[in-house]
Amino acid sequence: MNPVSLIFLALAMSTDAFAAAIGKGSSLHKPRLTEALRTGLIFGVIEAITPIIGWLIGQAATRWVAEWDHWIAFTLLVILGMHMIYNGLKHEDEEEEKPGQHSFLILAVTAFATSIDALAVGVGLAFVDVNIWVAAAAIGLATMTMVTLGVMLGRVLGAVVGKRAEIVGGVVLMIVGATILYEHLSV
């Protein structure tokens, strides 16, 4: 995977966490930088670990699916991208969170929920030429940065951006999947 695709993948993986962070930030009266950094760190670490777990699962299955690996990566990324777009388009009445709901456990569960897609992407990454440690670090760093910004911008952007970030992330995932397929088929 080329560096540009890796950057786009990392940013795409962070968009659902960014959307969640906007929600978290919008529920705080005045988010402090320390609260934003704490939230970003929790999300970033969890988002970095999940693709490694997925990659290990994918590595175990590599010898059975080597002929179709690029199709598997493409399919997983497109399905995840479509799911993110669907989630970004559906209209839900989100209940307003109370500031007391920002405990470590609540943040960790939210971070894990938003990183399930990174687990699936990790499975797909097992079938392409990528250093999983670099990919996981990029995903974790992008997520930490985006979540920290999301919490701080939450009060302002909550009503404006909301789920649109998830739609953009879904489109980017589908483009990364198409790029993987194109690179493999053009060799």
Identify whether the C-beta of residue 145 lies closer than 8 Å to the C-beta of residue 12: no
pLDDT at 102: 63
pLDDT tens per residue across all 187 residues of the chain: 889 999 999 998 898 788 778 777 776 667 788 989 999 999 999 999 999 999 999 888 866 766 676 787 788 778 877 887 887 787 655 544 444 446 788 888 888 877 888 888 898 898 888 999 999 999 999 999 999 998 898 767 655 666 676 677 677 778 877 887 887 787 6
Question: How many structural domains compose the chain?
Answer: 1
pLDDT at 186: 79
Residues 6+ apart with CB under 8 A from 119: 50, 51, 53, 54
Residue 103, domain extent: 3-185
pLDDT at 60: 86
pLDDT at 157: 63
pTM: 0.72
d(CA 4, CA 9) in angstroms, rounded, equals 9
Q: What length is written for the chain? A: 187
SS3 state at 22: helix
pLDDT at 71: 82
